[in-house]
Amino acid sequence: MQDFAASFFEAFRLVISLDPDLLEVVWLSMRVSLSAVVMAALVGFPVGAFLAVARFPGRGLLVVTISALMGLPPVVVGLVVYMLLSSAGVLGPLQLLYTPTAMIIAQTILVTPIVAALARQTLEDLHDEYRDQLVLYGLGNLAQLKTLLWEGRYSLLTTLLAGFGRAVAEVGAVIIVGGNINHVTRVMTTTIALETSKGNLALALGLGFILVTIAFAVNALVFMSRAAAVRHAYA
Amino acid sequence: MRENLLSAVQRQAMPVLPVTGADLKVSRKGRVLLDVDNIEIAGHGTTVIVGPNGAGKSLLLNLLAGLRQPDRGNVRWNGTPPSRSRYCRFGMVLQHAVLLRRSVKANVEYALRAVGHSRNEARRRAEASLGEAGMERLAHASARVLSGGERQRLALVRALATHPDLVFLDEPTSSLDPASVMAIETMVQDASVKGMRAVMVAHDLAQAKRVADEIILMHHGRIVERAATDDFFQRPQSETAEAFIAGRLLI
Ligand SMILES: Nc1ncnc2c1ncn2[C@@H]1O[C@H](COP(=O)(O)OP(=O)(O)O)[C@@H](O)[C@H]1O
Ligand SMILES: [Mg+2]
């Protein structure tokens, strides 16, 4: 018990003193997960938008598939990306395994279905509501879509935050493709796993504290953006 | 004079009027929703469409606006099917008008930008339009928090701000207080005096009398009677019209 108490104090000291090792890990986590969310937005928003307005054979199946992919187990994604990037894999020559880029790729795959599926739902509802009104403005498809994206801005922001929450808390994929290499590919979740198993509870607890804070902050942002949208009747 | 009010895009666009519908039929599950042999909207003034709930008034307007396709028949704007580029000369207030999730002014600006005005020009005209309608006080409010009457007035300001040649209004005053009804009727009449052709669905005969130059009565998807306002009320040609005027016509 005394060990635990000491660990708590040490963890607290690490956080308060902005320990460089700790900051490095936090910074990489943010960089990887934010990059993954940006990539997921670049792919997921157009895909979601297209599925929201287009009608073609097989669309229903695609919608269901993307929804199902929201529940992809991170370790399986890690495994698949590992096989692609390993020296025997098709992308082996790029030598990306055990780099932050590999972790960004894996998290992008995890987050993209979330962004695409939630964006599709948001934009489809908006499209149903706005269709006639936008036709009356004589707008083409792209101009209509631009308007829908702006009209759905609060919901879409929530979508991105949800994606970020999933990415930053995820451990299975990044530990496989990143390898948890000190000063190279250590992020908060993988470091917590490693340091805990090594018995170094102070660092693990410090990072755990920061991770929980970030998770709470993301949820608070979601909540505040919804509240702001409702307050201004933009929901 | 009026030409100055139009943007470059509007001037290039082909005319909308006359709007015609020929042999329009819509049915769902064996039920005939609309069956109109012939309708033409041309000339000047305000046409008011009346009829019981479910008579097909909204459906007819939406077909003529190019928002729906009939099962049979066709709609023509000046001889050709409704085309995207001509919506800039056409305005419409839908029965359930959709206001954008933006400020009141931004809603009007959006409509003006859509017909090709520059950002500055759109802002200037939006301010002027809201001023004329006595809504400048609300310019920066969120459109979605407006009261029912304000919402309808905004929908109308937005539709009229682009100075369309033709405007369709689907029950623009339903469930509004008398002052809001008056404000909306006045705006329509002012625009009509300046040469805008208007077609308005009304459920209120008193309103029809006040604003209509001619009346179309619809029942069960058909046009039962079309006549100048005085003739319609003083010399109804059909039993259906008589019953409707007397308030005895049920769905
Ligand atoms: N998309 C639709 N599918 C099925 N029925 C419809 C549809 N749109 C309208 N209707 C029916 O068509 C009839 C006419 O509707 P509408 O034009 O809205 O009447 P109103 O004269 O009250 O405006 C109603 O009976 C309505 O239920
Ligand atoms: Mg109606």
Which residues on chain A are in Cβ contact (under 8 Å) with B90? Answer: 136
Q: Which residue has the higher pLDDT, B123 or B4?
A: B123
Question: How many C-beta atoms surround the C-beta of residue A27 within 10 A?
Answer: 11
For residue A152, give how far its alpha carbon lies from the nearest alpha carbon of chain B (Å): 9
Given an 8 Å threshold on Cβ–Cβ distance, is A133 in contact with B87? no
- Long-range Cβ contact pairs of A127-136 (< 8 A, separation 24 or more): A127/A52, A127/A53, A129/B98, A130/B98, A132/B62, A132/B67, A132/B94, A132/B98, A133/B94, A133/B97, A133/B98, A135/B66, A135/B67, A135/B87, A136/B65, A136/B67, A136/B87, A136/B90, A136/B91, A136/B92, A136/B94
Nearest-CA residue of chain B relative to A153?
A: B101
Residue B187's nearest CA partner among B106, B122, B130, B140 is B130
Q: Is the CB of B59 under 6 A from ligand 1?
A: yes
Which residues on chain B are in Cβ contact (under 8 Å) with A228? Answer: none
Name the residue at shortest CA distance from atom 10 of ligand 1: B33
Instruction: Give the model's pLDDT for residue B26.
Output: 95
Instruction: Give the model's pLDDT for residue B11.
Output: 63
For residue B87, give how far its alpha carbon lies from the nearest alpha carbon of chain A (Å): 5
Q: What is the mean pLDDT of residues B76-81?
A: 94
Q: Which domain holds residue A60?
A: 2-233
CATH number for the domain that contains residue A77: 1.10.3720.10
Name the residue at shortest CA distance from atom 11 of ligand 1: B33
Window B:78-97, CB contacts with A under 8 Å: 84-88, 90-92, 94, 97
* Peptide linkage before A46 cis (omega within 30 of 0): no
Full 3-state SS string of A145-171: HHHHHHHCHHHHHHHHHHHHHHHHHCC
Q: What is the mean pLDDT of residues A26-55?
A: 95
- Long-range Cβ contact pairs of A144-151 (< 8 A, separation 24 or more): A144/A53, A145/A49, A145/A53, A147/B100, A147/B110, A148/A49, A148/A52, A148/A123, A149/A45, A149/A49, A149/A123, A151/A126, A151/B100, A151/B101
Which atom of ligand 1 is found nearest the CA of B201? 23
Q: What is the mean pLDDT of residues A61-65?
A: 96
Instruction: Give the model's pLDDT for residue A159.
Output: 93
pLDDT above 90 as % of chain B: 75
pLDDT above 70 as % of chain B: 94
Which residues on chain A are in Cβ contact (under 8 Å) with B142? Answer: 232-234
Residue B131 CA neighbour count, 13 Å, CB half: 6
Q: In this complex, is the C-beta atom of B62 within 8 Å of any C-beta atom belonging to chain A?
A: yes
Q: How many structural domains does chain A have?
A: 1
Residue A23 CA neighbour count, 13 Å, CB half: 6
Which residues on chain B are in Cβ contact (under 8 Å) with A129? Answer: 98
Nearest-CA residue of chain A relative to B144?
A: A233
Choose the closest CB to B114 out of A132, A137, A234.
A137
Residue B4 CA neighbour count, 13 Å, CB half: 2
d(CA B152, CA B94): 10
**For residue A200, pLDDT beyond 50:** yes
Average pLDDT, chain B: 91
Length of chain A: 235
Q: What is the mean pLDDT of residues B195-199?
A: 95
Which homologous superfamily is B2-245 in?
P-loop containing nucleotide triphosphate hydrolases (3.40.50.300)
Instruction: Give the model's pLDDT for residue B1.
Output: 43
Which residues on chain A are in Cβ contact (under 8 Å) with B111? Answer: 137
Choose the closest CB to B98 out of A129, A233, A234.
A129
**For residue A130, pLDDT beyond 90:** yes
Instruction: pLDDT band for B4, please (50, 70, 90 cuts).
Output: low
A105-119, A172-186, A214-228, B162-176, range with the lowest pLDDT: A214-228
Tens-place pLDDT, residues B53-72: 999 999 999 999 999 999 99
Q: Ligand 2 mean position to B53 CA, how many Å?
A: 7
Look up residue B235 and give its two tokens.
Answer: 């010399």
Pinpoint the alpha helices (H) of chain A: 2-16, 20-53, 59-69, 74-85, 100-136, 141-151, 153-169, 172-178, 188-198, 201-231
Q: What is the mean pLDDT of residues A187-201?
A: 93
Nearest-CA residue of chain B relative to A135?
A: B67
Q: ipTM of this model?
A: 0.89
d(CA B70, CA A99): 59
**Ranges of each domain in chain B:** 2-245
Q: Is the CB of B36 under 6 A from ligand 1?
A: no
Taking CA atoms, A178 is separated from A172, A174, A186, A232, B90, in Å, by: 10, 5, 8, 43, 59
Name the residue at shortest CA distance from atom 26 of ligand 1: B54
Q: Is the CB of B217 under 6 A from ligand 1?
A: no
Choose the closest CB to A233 out of B94, B114, B142.
B142
Tens-place pLDDT, residues B14-45: 889 999 999 999 999 989 999 999 999 999 99
**For residue A234, pLDDT beyond 70:** no
Given an 8 Å threshold on Cβ–Cβ distance, is B101 in contact with A137? no
Tens-place pLDDT, residues A159-171: 999 999 999 999 9
Give B99's contacts (C-beta < 8 A, 6+ positions apart). Answer: B107, B143, B144, B146, B151, B154, B155
Instruction: List the beta bridge partners of residue B32.
Output: B27
Given an 8 Å threshold on Cβ–Cβ distance, is B100 in contact with A151? yes
**For residue B13, pLDDT beyond 90:** no
Instruction: pLDDT band for B80, please (50, 70, 90 cuts).
Output: very high
Reading across the β-sheet that carries B19-28, which strands appear in turn? B31-41, B19-28, B72-77
